[in-house]
A = this chain, B = another copy of it.
Amino acid sequence: MTPTQMQRIVLAARPTGRPDHSHFRLETAPIPTPGEGQLLLKTLYLSLDPYMRGRMSAAKSYSAPVEIGQVMEGGTVSEVLESRYPGLNPGDVVLSFSGWQSHALADGAQLRKLDPQAAPVTTALGVLGMPGFTAYAGLLTIGQPKPGETVVVAAASGPVGSAVGQIARIKGARAVGIAGGPEKCAYIRENFGFDAVIDHRAPDLAEQLAAACPDGIDVYFENVGGKVWDAVFPLLNGFARIPVCGLIAQYNASGDFEGPDRLPVLMRQVLTKSLLIRGFIQREFAAQRPDFEREMAGWIASGAVRYKEDIVTGLENAPEAFMGLLEGRNFGKLVVKL
């Protein structure tokens, strides 16, 4: 019998600090019927990404917040169940933005058909998707690593950080990765070929980073903020470039930050070292997407870029997995298999 009910997770309340289960609510609802030009999709995989923490807050950001009672947003790999859109048929697998729910309607024009033979479909949410493109566009367009330069990236076992380090090495730079805990560090060292890997839990993080960067840091790909930034900052070379795509360490912060005020110190270094700091969202570089897809597919095929996924089963486990993501408990690209 065809199911008539779907599951979805909505934003129940806005967290002011760390999200917990009270901020999410699992609901059931009738499965909707597609209109003209629409499709009914069944979610196969849901991507969980740090940016979603921003959507839970009312504060203005680069995208509108999720409203209370709305389904949490997110990229998905979905299967077409019904199609009223020419060119996509039941059984096709597509990249969608269906959010945290088991079923969804979609406009056909918003979907991209995936070829399950070309690559595992989950890679469309990771190394071949938004996180991989974030690494590619931010590193190459803003960071512009040159041969022999030193590139530092944190969350180096994650989908963005692991790609940043590997692309940096393809471009002839040294890659220094930072991650949490010995298991992740060992994995990065063995699988992603970074030149050095440092555990950010080490009490002597700053000293270890300095030792790993004897020629200073030319590119710091900023995706975490917090104490990693503190360790990186004194090591920045003249003309260093700092693409900023995330600040996960401060996403749960609320209220004022304790002094002293480090803004004037930052600006002084910006001035005296001719630093470049540039925030970005991958979609501004959409024109580079075809180059990315061609190059990254080639690098994966040749083994020059490897990736790791962390797959959690069951939509109902998405909130817990997401809370873990914000604390670095995931190990690789976090995906929920429905």
Please list the residues of chain A having a beta carbon within 8 angstroms of any beta carbon in chain B. Answer: 54, 60-62, 222, 225, 229, 238-239, 244-247, 250, 253, 256-281, 284
Contacts and interface: CB of A to CB of B under 8 A. Distances in A.
A275 B243 CA distance: 10
A268 B250 contact: yes
Given A263-B266, A275-B279, 14 more contacts: A60-B272, A225-B264, A244-B270, A250-B267, A256-B259, A257-B265, A258-B260, A270-B277, A271-B279, A272-B279, A273-B279, A274-B281, A276-B276, A276-B278
Q: Which of A54, A268, A280, A281 has the most CB of B within 10 A?
A: A268
A273 B60 CA distance: 10
A274 B284 contact: yes
A274 B277 CA distance: 10
Contacts of A61: 272
A104 to B, nearest CB: 27
Contacts of A263: 257, 261-263, 266
Contacts of A279: 269-276
A272 B59 CA distance: 10
11 contacts: A54-B272, A62-B272, A247-B264, A257-B264, A262-B262, A263-B266, A266-B266, A270-B278, A274-B279, A275-B279, A278-B278
B280 A278 contact: no
Nearest to A280: B274
Contacts of A272: 54, 60-62, 279
A255 to B, nearest CB: 9
A60 B236 CA distance: 13
Contacts of A273: 62, 279
A258 B259 contact: yes
Contacts of A60: 272
B225 A267 contact: yes
A222 B264 CA distance: 13
Contact of A277 (B54, B257, B262, B278): B278
Contacts of A244: 267, 270-271
A246 B261 contact: no
A218 to B, nearest CB: 15
Contacts of A257: 259-265
A267 B284 contact: no
B225 A247 contact: no
Contacts of A225: 264, 267
A62 B267 CA distance: 14
B264 A250 contact: yes
A103 B307 CA distance: 66
A277 B260 CA distance: 22
Contacts of A277: 270, 275-278
A274 B268 contact: no
Contacts of A258: 259-261
Nearest to A275: B279
A247 B253 CA distance: 29
Nearest to A271: B279
Nearest to A253: B264
